[in-house]
Amino acid sequence: MSRDRKGSRSGPEEKRLQGHWLLATMGKTVLRPGGLEMTEALLEHARPLPGETVVEFGPGVGRTARLLLGTSPARYIGVDPNPEGAPALRKVLADFPHVSTRVVTADAKSTGLPDESADVVIGEAMLTMMNPRDKVAIIAEAARILKPGGRYVVHEMGLAPEDIDPDTAAELQKEISRTVKVGARPSTMDQWRALLTEAGFSIRFAHQNPMNLLEPRRVLADEGLLGTARIAKNMIVNPAGRHRMLTMRAVFRKYGEHLCGVGFVATASKG
Ligand SMILES: C[S@@+](CC[C@H](N)C(=O)[O-])C[C@H]1O[C@@H](n2cnc3c(N)ncnc32)[C@H](O)[C@@H]1O
């Protein structure tokens, strides 16, 4: 049985969708492990200023775009190769007609944006999905497009503790990837840190919080009362979507002691 995005029939789409798009279909707008709390902490340190140029890698449905546009940048550019989030993102951008906005359909590995053209680059819950080579390539692209002293904001899924048993890490990675239907490659705080410093970034701020993406209290904090009510309604009318959400939450809970949200604000030093 097929189901249109707004309808209440459930069918194969819910079984097939990558976890973040499934969550977005169910009404979730915050699709990153550390929630809005992490995003806000990072932006407080990155301090996007009015008149700056901000580039977002993998903006999803535009929840962080709304926060960024609220700081009155001169320009906002969202870079995403996938079409799923674009309609919602464009709706957000339309609320800020005084900002010059652009959506670039491209891989963050090669954005096509000019060298040293951005003051702030942000990417949330997108490097975690990449293989090691692509993680390095995307971080290098952020370094290329940032102006000297520009800030790179990274918010991803973390692994804990630093000396996590490699077999546990491998098992967790496999089970989460299978459940979420997208390769999930979380790294420890030190591993993320190393990726950034090896690309020439200096880390100015680092933050870690629990990976509570689908826990009721975090959902309420991220989506508000109305948003949470919308998700709850969708869970009632869409059993296949509800099943996927609860299966994802179960696997996050199973590995809860080993998962976290990690975030960094790093500055680009140019030689
Ligand atoms: C898990 S969602 C996170 C969305 C949003 N950043 C958030 O935190 O709510 C991952 C996002 O990364 C995008 N993405 C996937 N591969 C990408 C790539 N190679 N370059 C840029 N964005 C990518 C997806 O289309 C999606 O918008």
Per-residue pLDDT tens over the stretch 58-104: 999 999 999 999 999 999 999 999 999 999 999 999 999 999 999 99
Ligand 1 centroid to Cα of residue 104, in Å, is 13
Q: Which amino acid is at 101?
A: T
Rounded to an integer, what distance in angstroms lies between the CA atom of residue 172 and that of residue 170?
Answer: 5
Cβ–Cβ < 8 Å for 24, 244: no
Q: Domains of the chain, with CATH numbers?
A: 12-268 (3.40.50.150)
Q: Would the CB of 124 count as within 6 Å of ligand 1?
A: yes
Rounded to an integer, what distance in angstroms lies between the CA atom of residue 249 and that of residue 255?
Answer: 10
CA atoms within 13 A of residue 130's CA, in its CB half-sphere: 21
Q: How confident is the model at residue 7 (pLDDT cuts 50, 70, 90)?
A: very low
Nearest of 20, 146, 132, 157 to residue 84 by alpha carbon: 20
Buried b (16+ CB within 10 A) or exposed e, 136-149: bbbbebbbbbbbee
Q: Determine how many CB atoms are found less than 10 A away from the CB of residue 167.
A: 8
Q: How confident is the model at residue 15 (pLDDT cuts 50, 70, 90)?
A: confident
* pLDDT reported for residue 11: 55
* pLDDT reported for residue 12: 72
* pLDDT reported for residue 1: 37
Q: Would the CB of 89 count as within 6 Å of ligand 1?
A: no
Ligand 1 centroid to Cα of residue 232, in Å, is 24
User: What ligand 1 atom has the least distance to the C-alpha of 108?
Assistant: 20
Best residue for ligand 1 mutational test, from 126, 133, 153 (most atoms within 8 Å of Cβ)? 126
Best residue for ligand 1 mutational test, from 80, 128, 179 (most atoms within 8 Å of Cβ)? 80
Best residue for ligand 1 mutational test, from 17, 18, 20 (most atoms within 8 Å of Cβ)? 20
